[in-house]
Amino acid sequence: MNKTKEQISYNMHQVKSKDTKIEVMLRKELWSRGLRYQKDSKKVFGKPDIVF
């Protein structure tokens, strides 16, 4: 099924997956174990959520 650019844009706009409860719990656990990371690094290809 082909979607228009407007439909794709609308669908992507509805995705609110930043700082979810699970993601925050994971980051807190990593930090408490001494693992330092960067969040939403633009220096790495693909812009991953967590970068060591």
What is the per-residue pLDDT across 12-50, written as a single tens digit (0 to 9) for each?
888 777 788 888 999 999 999 999 999 888 888 887 888
Say which residue, 30 or 9, is predicted with more confidence. 30
Dihedral angle sign, alpha carbons of residues 24, 28, 31, 33? negative
pLDDT computed for residue 14 by the predictor: 82
On the question of pLDDT at 3 being above 90, the answer is: no
How confident is the model at residue 36, as a pLDDT? 96
**Domain boundaries along the sequence of the chain:** 20-52
3-class state of residue 51 by DSSP:
strand
Q: Is the full-model pTM beyond 0.85?
A: no
